[in-house]
Amino acid sequence: MEKWLSGLQLQQGQVIIQNGSVTIDLPDAYRFIGKEDAKKILEDLWRNPSDPTVIGMIVKKDFSPTRTGSWVVVMQDDPSGYVSDKDASSIDYDEMMLKLKAEAPEINKQRAEKGFPSVDIIGWAERPYYDQQSHKLYWAKQLKFTDNAQDTLNYDVRILGRKGVLQLSAIAGIDQLEDVKANMPSILNMVNFKEGSRYVDFDPNTDKMAGYGLAALVAGGIAAKAGLFKGLLIALLAFKKFIIMGFVALAAYFKRIMAWVKGIFGKKAP
C-alpha cells in the first residue's frame, strides 16, 4: 500500500488539461491528481463504479486517500454544448428539491437492481447560486446512503464554457461543510477555461447548444435532454457515489485482505 501511494503523481503549479482548453493554477496548499491516478483512487481503492467523465482531482497537498477526514474535489467533463443561463433568475429551488425527493423511491429501486445502496436527499446544505460574471454555478446537498452511518456532503460547482461544462464536486462528510466552504472560493478561482473556450467565446453560428439550462444542471445536468429533467440528480448518483466519509468500505476491504493473508500463512503472517 505504501508503495502504491508513493507512486501517485501529485502535480503542482499550473496544470493545463483538456487539450489546452482548461488551466488549473494551484497555490502551494493544493495539488492536482491526473485522470489515471484519480481512477485508481476512486475505483480501485474506494470501490466506486467506473466513470469515464472523471478527468482528475484537486486535493490538499497533505492528502492521503487512506486518512479519515480527507476530502477531494473530483473534476469531470460534460462536453454536451453551450448551456444557456437565461433561466438563472426564475428557478424555484425549493420546488425542485421537493420533486427530487418525491422521485427518490423509484430511482432507488433502479439502484437496488444494479446492486447499489439506496440514497436519500436530506436537503440543500447550501442553496444554489449562480455568479453571472464568472458563469460559475454552485450548491451543496446533504445525502444519506443506507450503507454509511454518516451523512455525505456533495458540494458541486459547474463552470460554464463555450462547448460544455466543467463539473467540480467536493466529496466529504457533512461535518466538513465549513472547511469545504472555506476552501471552495480558492478552488473556484484556480480553474478556468482559456481564451477561445470561455463562455463569452460562444459563437451561435457554429457552436452546439446543450439544449437545457441551469435548472437541469442542478437537477442532474449531464443526462438532461431538451431542457427536461426528471430525478436526474439521483440517477447520476447511481454512478457517482464517492465513499470517502469514515472509510467504512475501505476498512472492510483491508479486513478481508488480512483474513486472506492469515488463511494462507496462519500464525506466520506478520
Task: Assess whether pLDDT exceeds 60 at residue 253.
Answer: no
Torsion angle defined by CA atoms of residues 35, 36, 38 and 39, in that order, rounded to the nearest 10 degrees: 110
User: What is the per-residue burial (b if ≥16 Cβ within 10 Å, else e) of 5-15?
Assistant: eeebeebeeeb
Task: Assess whether pLDDT exceeds 80 at residue 259.
Answer: no
236 band by pLDDT with thresholds 50, 70 and 90: very low
Which residues have a Cβ under 8 Å from the Cβ of 221 and sit 6 or more positions away?
A: 78, 158, 165, 167, 212, 232, 236
In the chain, what percentage of residues exceed pLDDT 90? 40
Residue 99 is predicted with a pLDDT of: 86
In the chain, what percentage of residues exceed pLDDT 70? 80
pLDDT tens for residues 177-217? 888 888 988 998 999 999 999 999 999 999 999 988 999 88
Distance CA 263, CA 259 (A): 6
Which residues have a Cβ under 8 Å from the Cβ of 113 and sit 6 or more positions away?
A: none
Flag the least confident range among 9-18, 22-31, 92-101, 230-239. Answer: 230-239
227 band by pLDDT with thresholds 50, 70 and 90: very low
CB of 170 within 8 A of CB of 72? yes
Find where cell 427518490 sits. Answer: 104
Q: What is the pTM of this model?
A: 0.76
**Choices 2.170.190.11, 3.40.640.10, 3.40.309.10, 2.60.120.1690: CATH for 2-268:** 2.60.120.1690
Task: Assess whether pLDDT exceeds 90 at residue 18.
Answer: yes
Residue 226 is predicted with a pLDDT of: 25
Which residues have a Cβ under 8 Å from the Cβ of 270 and sit 6 or more positions away?
A: none
Task: Assess whether pLDDT exceeds 70 at residue 266.
Answer: no
Torsion angle defined by CA atoms of residues 233, 234, 236 and 240, in that order, rounded to the nearest 10 degrees: 120
DSSP H helical segments within 114-195, as ranges? 177-190
Task: Assess whether pLDDT exceeds 80 at residue 70.
Answer: no
Residue type, 75: M
